[in-house]
Amino acid sequence: MQKRWQMLTDCLEGYLEILILLHDDPDPDAVASGEALRYLLEERLQMEGRIAYRGVIGRAENRALVNFLQPQMEKLPDDVTPEHTPHQAVALVDTQPGAGNSPLPQGYDADVVVDHHTDREDGAGRFRDVRPWLGASSTMMTQYLQAAELKPSRRVATALFYGIKTDTRGLSRDTSAADIAAYFYLLEFVDVDALVTIENAQVPAAYFTSLTKAMQTARVYDGVVVSYLGQSDYPDLTAEIADLLLRLEGIRWVVCVGAYEDQLNLSVRAHSEDADADAEELATKIIGEAGSAGGRNTLAGGQMPLNGANAEELVDEIRTRTLEYLDVPSSVEPRPLVP
């Protein structure tokens, strides 16, 4: 890690400011990692940092984390691509140029790319640290703080801890020894009261409306659940519901779909005990060339523009592709989750 930290500092030499870009609709891992990078560069390199994102921070827990951190975050217009300036570097955190949820197009030469998802080998970046064997980008940023011999503030430590916890589902999925080490290193600095408040954030009544819809439309096919939420209040509601459905006894796979504005959002989950699972491959097969997808072994997501198409017809196609990929015989009769 000392070598990576030195390479990062060399890359940023001469810059006075840095724009830190998160993936669209950022989750706790992205928010925490972005704030940790800002904190690190401010404390060690005296660089002024700004954090920006596109999309919506909709999940109640995610909004509670942002309220706790109070980071200097701004929302980017959808039609604007940030540009380099002689004094401002550009960093991309928890995603890569050209990824489906990235604010930067393929080939964009970001100064810094830090991510734990599948390495897009065609991705650009003067300094690239992409380690898909890790469970969270927050683990990577914890290692950078340690390499720089900088103790995390209570705010940053709490956010990084929560980022690791959510992305690895409490160290139960896609977890490496490095994730475990970072998790327990951060535990000493965590604001426990704040963490409890974040994890138990109150949700709006609309959440329960969507939850009811998800339960009513969920169909079980021999260890596979497919559910359609209809119109969602925020894009990552599909991920929230997918995580919940994966707790159903006997379930190996979950595919949850929801519409937000003129786009279908997809979340795929696989049981952590399935060593051969490849949720990213399934998400990519489902979306095809109509949109974009990405993820890891046990969780993945994707987006597909509707372009005026009938959402329910597309969901039927998604269901068919899912069952074909998972080799569920056509003779299997679906059963409703809620009678």
pLDDT for the residue numbered 92: 95
Is there a common fold for 2-199 and 205-336?
Answer: no
107 versus 213: the higher-pLDDT residue is 213
**What's the CATH number of domain 2-199, 3.90.1640.10, 3.40.50.880, 3.40.50.300, 3.40.50.720?**
3.90.1640.10
> Is the pLDDT at 123 greater than 90, yes or no?
no
> Is the pLDDT at 73 greater than 70, yes or no?
yes
Residues 174-216 pLDDT 10s: 899 999 999 999 999 999 999 999 999 999 888 899 999 999 9
Give pTM, 2 decimals. 0.90
pLDDT for the residue numbered 27: 95
Region for residue 98 given its phi and psi (left: phi exceeds 0; alpha: psi -120 to 50; beta: otherwise): left
> Is the pLDDT at 82 greater than 80, yes or no?
no
Secondary structure class of 204 (helix, strand, coil)? coil
pLDDT for the residue numbered 147: 98
Alpha-carbon 95 to chain mean position: 8
- If you count them, how many residues does the chain have? 339
Answer yes or no: are the C-beta atoms of 161 and 122 closer than 8 Å. no
pLDDT for the residue numbered 121: 67
> Is the pLDDT at 247 greater than 90, yes or no?
yes
- Residues pairing with 19 in the sheet: 50, 90
Query: What does the DSSP 8-state code read for residue 100?
Result: T
Domain ranges, ordered by start, for the chain? 2-199, 205-336
Mean pLDDT value across the chain: 92
Question: How far, in Å, CA of 275 to CA of 270, rounded?
Answer: 10
Question: How far, in Å, CA of 162 to CA of 156, rounded?
Answer: 10
311 versus 109: the higher-pLDDT residue is 311
Smallest Cα–Cα separation from 63: which of 205, 200, 210?
A: 200
pLDDT for the residue numbered 124: 66
Pairing between β-strand 73-75 and β-strand 48-53 as defined by DSSP bridges: parallel
8 versus 331: the higher-pLDDT residue is 8
- Residues pairing with 270 in the sheet: 253
Residues 128-150 pLDDT 10s: 999 999 999 999 999 999 999 99
Smallest Cα–Cα separation from 87: which of 157, 14, 167?
A: 14
The CATH topology of domain 205-336 is Diaminopimelate Epimerase; Chain A, domain 1 (3.10.310)
